[in-house]
Amino acid sequence: MRTTRRGIPGRIGHLALIGLVLSGLAACGFSLMPRFNFPPWMKTTALVTPNPNGRLARLLRQELAREGIRVVHPADPHGASLVIFGSEILSRVLAVNGQGEPAEYLISYHVHFRLERGANTLLGPIAIRLRQTYFYEPLAPLAMTSESFNLTRTLERKAARLILYRLASPAARGGLPEPAGGPVRKSRADAPALRSDGLDPGT
């Protein structure tokens, strides 16, 4: 009686095959991230932001388009308006070394948004506040500059994702009827005085 055993090389080959399949799916645009359930009237959404070419705006356009949302200029007909404002990046020293030089920094990324449908604000204003620390190395200032830049980009990606999660929440649906005359044609980017609920995923 013969028995066949699959050794370590066989297992490695099996895992390599799984990795290859997953890489191929990712290359074809397949994502393992959960899909969002946006309100149907967000099918065409205007993105209103003081910096339409900024990284956060580009990330939101890409993510929304991936979910089947058509992002248009505020002057074009649309069913909803995503208004982004109050974005800022702050950096401060958390600790110093024995020579009194900065040893640890805190980077904070803040942004506000609200969701409008016609003249109604269905969600927000909401404040997203993200923080991340990093250590400063005096002997490698260029590396520290690069790390600060990369951390900021990471916080912007997280902020974009959190905005999408809030837009897909039941609170964003509002249950309002279609505005008279169909989709609105213009949105205002001016922001009223804020009473924002904090959303802090932690450090």
**Residue 121 is assigned to a structural domain of this protein:** yes
**Which DSSP string do the residues of 6-70 spell out, in sequence order?**
--HHHHHHHHHHHHHHHHHHHHTT---SPPP---GGGSEEEEE-S-TTSHHHHHHHHHHHHTT-E
Tell me the two tokens of residue 177. 């009827």
**Residue 85 is assigned to a structural domain of this protein:** yes
**Residue 160 is assigned to a structural domain of this protein:** yes
pTM over 0.85: no
**Residue 29 is assigned to a structural domain of this protein:** no
Closest CA to 155 of 66, 91, 104, 70: 91
**Residue 9 is assigned to a structural domain of this protein:** no
Tell me the two tokens of residue 104. 């640890």
Top pLDDT among 193 and 98 is at 98
**Residue 50 is assigned to a structural domain of this protein:** yes
**Residue 128 is assigned to a structural domain of this protein:** yes
Quick: pLDDT tens for 75-128.
999 999 999 999 898 888 777 777 777 778 888 999 999 999 998 999 989 999
CATH code where residue 195 lies: 3.30.160.150
Domain holding 160, by residue range, is 37-175+183-199
Count: domains in the chain: 1
Quick: pLDDT tens for 16-74.
555 554 555 444 443 445 578 898 899 999 999 999 999 999 999 999 999 999 999 99
